[in-house]
Amino acid sequence: MTKGSNSTEVDQVLESYFGEDYIRRLSGINDLSEVGVLTLKFDSSVQSILHLGEMLPNLRCLHLSGSKLASVRDLGIHLRHIKELHLDECSLVDLDGMGAIQDLSVLSVRNNYISDVTPLAMLEFLEVSSFTSNNISINETATLFSHPVFVIRIWILPATKFLISRLQILCHHVHV
């Protein structure tokens, strides 16, 4: 093995791991316990953020929109204190594993391929959800409205847009 190829392999490994130094540069904060909000794009097929919750114990808002995320489970189990999570345009097909994020109150999963919202039933603090442009059927909305969600934004088909808007207003007034 030549020296150049070994160096390239090390660089690839470092790029696939979001370490403390990278997060410090990205956030601009030296003391990682002070990071409360983080915006990050990654590809879960080559990079891992499983340790992010351990590195950032006071992280409350995480923006991963535009990332390539195979599953919510790729976020790990250490993000349970996140209050706000943005997973727009992440190519998600389901929400399995969402129950691990116990304190979640705001969730945005716009422009994905989600059809089943039942994993959200475990999130007792969820108040605001945005599901615009997913594969959620009108029958799935019953699951959402049986949960004490404050505001839900879902557009399924143009024909049901009015009905969803009316339900959104009703839900907002009932749970205020």
- 84-132 pLDDT, tens digit each: 999 999 999 999 999 899 999 999 999 999 988 888 878 888 888 888 8
pLDDT band at 147 (very low <50, low <70, confident <90, very high): low
What does the block give as tokens for 3? Answer: 């020296």
Query: 3-174 falls under which CATH superfamily?
Result: Ribonuclease Inhibitor (3.80.10.10)
Alpha-helix runs per DSSP H in the chain? 3-15, 20-27, 52-55, 140-145, 158-174
Alpha carbons within 13 angstroms on the beta-carbon side of residue 78 total: 12
- 53-84 pLDDT, tens digit each: 999 999 999 999 999 999 999 998 899 889 99
pLDDT number for residue 60: 96
pLDDT number for residue 30: 94
